[in-house]
């Protein structure tokens, strides 16, 4: 099937899954591509190759939904996130936000969109300026965009600190006076400052201690529910995404290989890579007996010269000759629910059994799963915001 048909299948199937009322995506990308040039040669440098970090991604994000984006290291998740927020310029494809084409919009044209699409980064240490106070960091986006909320920016920052579970009195403190979880909360408050419609969260908890991860995930989930903000939640780990996202896209070497609503993806994974990722979730509880474990050997191949045909074929136990010559399109295959799209010539049998035995959560996340809607507990690390020693 041609690339165009693939795109059409992806674009058609997803709105059907979400119902007519939500048929208008907030953000829609088609054929999104980012190739980073590799320069070489002497004395004149010229392009000698390209890192095909993202290569023809079709995705839609609907208002208020949480879409998970999952895959191994180096498969292009962060690059996709940066393209969605237009921090990077795409090499190909289109990005439209609320129907407006912003693929190559310039700084001025992007200004109103920039305030509605925010990003939260993985490393809460690197993403906050150590020389700025929390107040300056969080009010920064308001200043840049010339926004003066009623009551002033300081009042708004204090409200935001409260919203993310930090002490508003700590307005004048510096990032180093906070724990990792609290710094990530500061990053969340900064992202909320402009009342965004969409937040792209790039592995927002993976740099945090496991005991703090669940609290931050819970905070994000509350914000998503209470404020109706759409999220693209990027993660390595299917366990975290399962907790947070109603819909999940699985990425491999620059391409989406499977996308589906949460139940369909976790209970009936059809792509061998999704199946392998599900069974590779860390063994937090060694007492759990597993019926089946698939271990993925080897690393993701280099995106400089990805395998022909299906990019997963060098690690796939089901690969046949056609997998090397024909790229499988991302389509709704027989037996899949509407909106469940898979890119594979020889998909896995749909399993009607729950794959619970394959999915073992981190203990902290497991406890959240058992207590749906559990309140966000304050951080318990030494020096937490509400009880941290004074800066003076
Ligand atoms: N600015 C850049 N220049 C050249 N190559 C890049 C650049 N940024 C990313 N890459 C390459 O693009 C590929 C995808 O990187 P990306 O950071 O998007 O992956 P990722 O899925 O987010 O990985 P991780 O899980 O480790 O964060 C990698 O091979 C990476 O080395
Ligand atoms: S298309 Fe072939 S190589 Fe790719 S995942 Fe399916 S069976 Fe494996
Ligand atoms: Mg990344």
SS3 state at 14: helix
Residue 12 contacts by C-beta under 8 Å, 6 or more apart in sequence? none
Kindly report, residue by residue over 150-193, the tens digit of the pLDDT.
Answer: 999 999 999 999 999 999 999 999 999 999 999 999 999 999 99
- The ligand whose atoms approach the alpha carbon of 74 most closely is 1
Starting from the CA of residue 330, give the closest ligand: 2
Round to whole Å and give the CA distance between 169 and 324. Answer: 60
User: Which DSSP category does 390 fall into?
Assistant: P
Q: Output the six-digit token pair for 209.
A: 């201690």
Ligand 1 contacts CB of residue 2 (under 6 A): no
Distance (Å, whole) CA 390 – CA 198: 35
The residue whose CA has the least distance to atom 6 of ligand 2 is 344
Which residue from 274, 232, 226 is spatially nearest to 250, judged by alpha carbons?
274
pLDDT for 266 = 87
Q: Which of 87-96, 118-127, 292-301, 359-368 has the lowest mean pLDDT?
A: 359-368
Reported residue count of the chain is: 392
Tokens 């907030």: give the residue. 26
- Copy the structure tokens of residue 142: 């308001």
- Rounded to 10°, the helix 363-370/210-227 angle is 40
Ligand 1 centroid distance, CA of 40 (Å): 19
Residue 121 DSSP label: -
Helix (H, G, I), strand (E, B) or coil at 190: helix
- The larger pLDDT score, comparing residue 54 to residue 281, is at 54
Instruction: Enumerate the β-bridge partners of residue 68.
Output: 233, 248
Q: Which pLDDT value is given to residue 391?
A: 32
Are 233 and 245 spatial neighbours (Cβ–Cβ below 8 Å)?
Answer: yes
Tokens of 293: 């474990």
Cα–Cα distances in Å, from 227 out to 33, 142, 194, 244? 31, 19, 12, 15
In short, whether 323's Cβ falls inside 6 Å of ligand 2 is yes
CA–centroid distance, residue 1 to ligand 3 (Å): 30
Mean pLDDT, range 65-70, rounded to an integer: 96
Query: How far is the C-alpha of 8 from the C-alpha of 4, rounded, in Å?
Result: 6
Atom of ligand 1 nearest to the CA of 203: 27
């Amino acid at each position: 099937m041609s690339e165009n048909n693939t795109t059409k299948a992806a674009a058609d199937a997803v709105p059907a899954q979400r119902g007519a009322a939500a048929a208008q995506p907030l953000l829609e990308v088609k054929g999104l591509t980012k190739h980073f040039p590799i320069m070489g040669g002497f004395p004149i440098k010229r392009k000698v190759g390209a890192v095909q970090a993202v290569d023809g991604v079709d995705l839609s994000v609907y208002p208020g939904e949480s879409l998970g984006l999952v895959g191994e290291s180096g498969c292009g998740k962060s690059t996709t996130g940066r393209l969605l927020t237009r921090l990077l310029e795409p090499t190909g494809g289109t990005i439209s936000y609320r129907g407006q084409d912003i693929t190559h919009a310039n700084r001025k044209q992007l200004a109103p969109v920039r305030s509605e699409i925010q990003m939260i980064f993985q490393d809460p240490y690197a993403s906050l300026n150590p020389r700025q106070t929390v107040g300056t960091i969080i009010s920064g986006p308001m200043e840049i965009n010339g926004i003066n909320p009623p009551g002033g920016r300081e009042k708004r920052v204090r409200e935001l600190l409260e919203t993310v579970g930090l002490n508003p009195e700590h307005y004048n403190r510096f990032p180093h006076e906070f724990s990792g979880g609290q710094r990530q909360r500061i990053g969340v408050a900064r992202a909320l400052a402009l009342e965004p419609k969409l937040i792209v969260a790039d592995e927002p908890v993976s740099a945090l201690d496991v005991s703090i991860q669940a609290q931050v995930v819970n905070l994000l989930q509350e914000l998503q529910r209470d404020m109706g903000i759409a999220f693209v939640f990027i993660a390595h780990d299917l366990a975290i995404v399962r907790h947070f996202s109603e819909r999940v896209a699985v990425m491999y070497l620059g391409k989406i290989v499977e996308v589906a609503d949460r139940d369909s993806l976790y209970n009936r994974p059809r792509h061998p890579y999704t199946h392998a990722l599900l069974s590779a979730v860390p063994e937090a509880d060694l007492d759990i007996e597993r019926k089946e474990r698939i271990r993925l050997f080897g690393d993701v191949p280099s995106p400089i010269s990805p395998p022909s045909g299906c990019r997963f074929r060098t690690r796939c136990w089901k690969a046949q000759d056609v997998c090397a010559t024909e790229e499988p399109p991302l389509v709704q295959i027989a037996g899949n629910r509407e909106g469940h799209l898979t890119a594979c010539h020889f998909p896995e049998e749909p399993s009607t059994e729950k794959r619970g035995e394959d999915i073992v959560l981190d203990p902290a996340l497991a406890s959240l799963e058992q207590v749906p809607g559990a309140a966000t507990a304050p951080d318990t690390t030494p020096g937490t915001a509400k009880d941290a020693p004074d800066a003076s």
